[in-house]
Amino acid sequence: MSLARAIETGDLAELPSRRDEDWRWSDFRGLVRSIPAHSPVDHDVSGAAGPFDELTTSRIDFINGHEARIDIPANAEETWAVTFRSTARAGSHINRLNASIGPGGSLVLLEAYVGERPDYVCATDIEITMGEGSRLERIVVADDGEEAVSISSARIDLSPGAQLEQTVVTSGARRQRLGTRVRHPGGGAKVRLDGLYLIAGRRHGDLTTVVVHEGPEGQTDQVTKGVAIDQGRGVFQGRIEVRPGADRTDARMQHRALVLSDRAEVDAKPELEIYADDVACSHGNSVGALDEEALFYAAQRGIPEDVARAMLTKAFLGEVIERIRHEGERNAVRKFVDALTEKLA
């Protein structure tokens, strides 16, 4: 069952449905009445700007679906910008990206989802395997069309000693999920798995992660923050599984969200499933409004309410941005988030 299968076969029964617990809050079968025709192939990317243009010249542009591979040799260090562009109106398409990082290698993967038309159906499947002691910094910014239906599913397999750092930022779509599934072998491997969502209008954005700790002495550190306003709906589902034998796992998950209007909604399900001994696991979850005391304090100093709200919202989201290791990536993400925050106010 997947959106990609539904696009391939045209069979609506392949769409993820709320009857499946994992899709309870993000129902695609109830929304999509028919699979639109495959989007036309379009290879003209001349002049198309992306959010990461200043950070690398190595780039791959997927236009209305494509397949590509990135292989980083052992001990090599590369930065790739991958843009998934949807330029078709009412079309459907599939992106497939495979990547491997050799032992000791390093990849900075900068993914952008760009909807140049409001409506399309897009499935993206990503598989990344990481060799021993390799590093992956994955930054994802999703700027899909407001009527778009989009699911991105990433599977990342770590080897011992590997280090994954991920930050996903989204503004949602008509319905959208950005999912990440991490196989964590332990053995000193480390995962930082962060997310931000800013959902306005009638959009729906879903960040779902699954981390499976299979071996001892692995670390996972996860912070997701979100904002929903208007009739927007944000979803966070985070699951950390600590399998038998994954002893001395250290896993922390935190989700915090702001609901900024009466009709906005946030649904969150942080889950820890622990079947090992001597583990340090924790999770926290809070959903609330902006601090009224802080709003009055700012107003007393002369800051108008809309400016104060944007300032406090940016500050709330900033913690996640600060966790991005490299300054260039951090600035690119901050720019994207600031632009979205201005629109919320």
Instruction: List residues binding another protein (CB under 8 A).
Output: 291-294, 296-305, 307, 311-312, 314-316, 318-319
Q: Which two tokens stand for residue 258?
A: 């702001």
Among 318, 297, 298, 320, smallest CA distance to 308 is for 298
Cβ 306 to another protein shortest distance, Å: 10
Among 52, 68, 48, smallest CA distance to 60 is for 68
| Residue with smaller CB distance to another protein, 37 or 294 | 294
**114-to-94, 120, 214 alpha-carbon distances in Å:** 14, 11, 35
| Residue with smaller CB distance to another protein, 29 or 314 | 314
| Residue with smaller CB distance to another protein, 225 or 233 | 225
Cβ 333 to another protein shortest distance, Å: 15
| Residue with smaller CB distance to another protein, 11 or 291 | 291
DSSP code, position 260: -
| Residue with smaller CB distance to another protein, 298 or 324 | 298
Q: Which two tokens stand for residue 199?
A: 């959902």
Cβ 296 to another protein shortest distance, Å: 6
| Residue with smaller CB distance to another protein, 77 or 291 | 291
> The dihedral of CA 289, 270, 196, 32: what is its sign?
negative
Q: Which alpha helices (DSSP H) does 197-326 contain, by range?
A: 292-300, 305-322
Cβ 181 to another protein shortest distance, Å: 31
Cβ 109 to another protein shortest distance, Å: 27
Cβ 292 to another protein shortest distance, Å: 7
Q: Could you give the count of Cα atoms lying within 13 Å of 262 in the half-sphere of its Cβ?
A: 0
- In the sheet with 204-213, reading across from the earlier edge strand, the strands are 66-72, 92-101, 121-130, 149-157, 175-184, 204-213, 233-242, 265-274
